[in-house]
């Protein structure tokens, strides 16, 4: 099945053990929403409610996550979102190339 992503929503999620920072943009990288959810069932429901307000079919929402397993990933896949798993080492190397400071910042990592 070929999916046309024009007009889609792009979501970056910085994964953590107890919470996840979420940043939502449109295809032009215009910020649409920024929030934090708990790493719990209610947090996953909150994420889906935030994304549903954009009135875009789940298959037109592309989600990049700096993780490869767990409740968050399974919840996103089950809901029908297009999920792209980012190796944490790759995100770290990206920070090395494009950020002057070597410090880690969860809100900024949502962009990567």
* Predicted structure pTM score: 0.74
**pLDDT tier for residue 44 given thresholds of 50, 70 and 90:** very high
**pLDDT tier for residue 90 given thresholds of 50, 70 and 90:** low
Q: Are 20 and 14 in contact (CB under 8 A)?
A: yes
Query: In the CATH hierarchy, which top-level class contains the domain 9-109?
Result: alpha beta
pLDDT (mean) for 99-112? 54
Per domain, the residue ranges of the chain are: 9-109
pLDDT (mean) for 79-94? 77
Q: What percent of the chain has pLDDT over 90?
A: 42
Alpha-helical runs (H) found in the chain: 41-52, 71-79, 88-98, 106-109
108, pLDDT greater than 60: no
């Amino acid at each position: 099945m070929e999916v046309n992503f024009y007009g889609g929503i792009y979501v970056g999620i910085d994964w953590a053990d107890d919470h996840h920072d979420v940043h939502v943009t449109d295809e032009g990288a215009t910020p649409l929403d920024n929030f934090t959810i708990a790493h719990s069932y209610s947090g996953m429901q909150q994420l889906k409610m935030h994304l549903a307000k954009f009135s875009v079919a789940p298959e037109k929402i592309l989600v990049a996550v700096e993780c490869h397993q767990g409740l968050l990933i399974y919840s996103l896949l089950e809901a029908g979102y297009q999920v792209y798993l980012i190796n944490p080492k790759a995100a770290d190397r990206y920070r090395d190339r494009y950020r002057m400071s070597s410090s880690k910042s969860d809100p900024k990592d949502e962009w990567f």
